Amino acid sequence: MGVSPSDGPDISGISIDSRTLNPGDLFIALRGDPGERFNTSHQSELDGHDYVQQAFDAGAAGVLIHQEDICVALEKYQTADSSRVILVEDTLDGLWDLARAARRRLRCPVFAITGSSGKTTLRNFLGACLETEVAPGSLNNFWGLPLSMARTPAHCSAAIFELGTSSPGEIEPLAELVQPDVAVVLNVLPAHIEFFSDLAAIEKEKLSIMYGLTRDGVLVLPHALKKSAMIANDSLVGWQEGFEKAANVRKERIQLITFGDEQSANIHLQSFDLNSPFLELTYLNQKFQANVPGGGQHRAHTVAATLACIIAADLDPGSIQKLGNIQPPGGRGNVLSVFGVKVIDESYNANPTSMAAALNNLSAASKEKKYAILGDMLELGSDAGRFHKEMLASCTNIDGIFCVGKQMRSLFESLPVRQRWGYAENISAMDLGALVIDLSEGDCVLVKGSNRIFWSQDFVGKLTQALTDAAQR
């Protein structure tokens, strides 16, 4: 049951966290378990209803809560103003209703991005080119996406959303909610493969983003995915049963734009020099030069995907030059300089492909002494040991490697002794003060691992503080 049209509080924002709520926000009390309607691994025991009073104390203009007697609610939450308490049968449904209403009022191109890696980077690149704000963080699951949509200003010049998945069946309902004009599959990699039968199952899940496309929508893909049995020529053919599931799709063919290294890709990425900050792209015999923020072959492909999105939306392809020298999002390759030591922060996440790319970039593009602090790559299933050990091939030209996590032990034990900088089961077992003594001005340190290993523990913050303390002694 949604919210009936009625007078309510004037709100200036939407929040689901009483700790970060701003005065004037509407607080939506969500439960950590969405129930059987969403096939997701993101569940918790938390219940936002336990924090409603804190939300009022923080200045919430109103609250959206599960249905109960209004008199009980007014007494429980210490407010005499019934208009500040909005009752619904289910608050998650209420949030999705707000997202649908926000989508209906948009009069700009709407983009939906999925992929195993680099979604937030692509979103930021596209936002910079189209000069539109993008939401902070990675709000891309069953509560994060509708929250991001509900917060989107009605008069923005473009709306760009991420769609994430860690289990089969998550992307399709999210895509149907967004109803994108342009849907993007940035890549298909063995991330979260623990919850999928194989890489083909991940590909199928990513491609299900097409179910939400508007009638004249465009699908943007890496050219390599065009080899899929479901794809022919310049249109996607088949999956009619899937099309019928999406209420707004009533056709058999979807317009397709591809990007990649292949000469036959619509957006052709010319050979890219890792030591150059620029690349050249071609589209219909037109050439475009663009900056590659953060460098690296994987980000060069993200730049190519950015141009493909701009063209798919029938916007000015010359806007790709607005990328300039923007920094990648935090933890996705942004570079910090701490008393002469360069820290490459790739701590937000990791999978075998992105880990190898980061190590190869470090080896090829850096002339200084090179170190890497590598954390476990999680959710890789039964092949996790093999995936970690295979990173050895990308470590050849690195002077010292510190491995963190149980899975990374297999890599550490495979390293030549001269490269074994150290091993710890977790960051709590690391002596950062002793570690940074080995680093000197001009050295470069890469930090790369899964979110729970480094990013959620603010490891790079701790490392930079250790470097600062050592320099000031």
Residue type, 344: I
pLDDT tens digits for range 387-442? 999 999 999 999 999 999 999 999 999 999 999 999 999 999 999 999 999 999 99
Percent residues over pLDDT 90 in the chain: 59
What is the rounded distance in angstroms from the CA atom of residue 357 to the CA atom of residue 450? 15
Place of tokens 């890219």: 272
The structure's pTM equals 0.84
**Residue bearing the bigger pLDDT, 36 or 217:** 217
Confidence label for 253 from pLDDT (cuts 50, 70 and 90)? low
What pLDDT is recorded for position 432?
96
Residue ranges of domains in the chain: 13-93, 106-323, 334-472
Domain covering 13-93 in this structure, CATH number: 3.40.1390.10
CB atoms within 10 A of CB 247: 10
Q: Identify any residues that bridge with 268 across adjacent strands, giving them in sequence order.
A: 260, 282
What is the rounded distance in angstroms from the CA atom of residue 121 to the CA atom of residue 354? 13
| Average predicted confidence (pLDDT) for the chain | 87
What pLDDT is recorded for position 45?
77
Answer for the pair 373, 447: CB distance below 8 angstroms, yes or no: yes
pLDDT tens digits for range 257-291? 999 999 999 999 987 777 777 899 999 989 999 99
Give the range among 36-45, 330-339, 457-466 with minimum mean pLDDT: 36-45
What pLDDT is recorded for position 412?
96
pLDDT at residue 192 greater than cutoff 90: no
pLDDT tens digits for range 149-187? 999 999 999 999 999 988 888 999 999 999 999 999 999
Answer for the pair 26, 63: CB distance below 8 angstroms, yes or no: yes
Confidence label for 123 from pLDDT (cuts 50, 70 and 90)? very high
Torsions phi, psi of 427, nearest 5? -70, -25
pLDDT tens digits for range 439-458? 999 999 999 999 999 999 99
Mean pLDDT for the stretch of residues 59-69: 88
pLDDT tens digits for range 71-119? 777 778 777 788 889 999 999 999 999 999 999 999 999 999 999 888 9
pLDDT at residue 199 greater than cutoff 50: yes
pLDDT tens digits for range 327-339? 788 898 889 999 9
Place of tokens 């959710």: 379
Answer for the pair 370, 402: CB distance below 8 angstroms, yes or no: no
Class of domain 334-472: alpha beta
Domain covering 106-323 in this structure, CATH number: 3.40.1190.10
What pLDDT is recorded for position 283?
94
3-class SS letters over the chain: CCCCCCCCCCCCEEECCCCCCCCCEEEECCECCCCCCCCCCCCCCCEHHHHHHHHHHCCCCEEEEECCCHHHHHHHCCCCCHHHEEEECCHHHHHHHHHHHHHHHCCCCEEEEECCCCHHHHHHHHHHHHCCCCCCCCCCCCCHHHHHHHCCCCCCCCEEEECCCCCCCCHHHHHHHHCCCEEEECCCCCCCHHHCCCHHHHHHHHHHHHHHCCCCCEEEEEHHHHHCCCEECCEEECCHHHHHHCCCCCCCEEEEEEEECCCCCCEEECCCCCCCCEEEEEECCEEEEEECCCCCHHHHHHHHHHHHHHHHCCCCHHHHHHHCCCCCCCCCCEEEEECCEEEEEECCCCCHHHHHHHHHHHHHHCCCCEEEEEECCCCCHHHHHHHHHHHHHHCCCCCEEEEECCCCHHHHHHCCHHHEEEEECCHHHCCHHHHHHHCCCCCEEEEECCCCCCHHHCHHHHHHHHHHHHHHC
What pLDDT is recorded for position 226?
74
Spatial CA neighbour of 432 closest among 407, 461, 412: 461
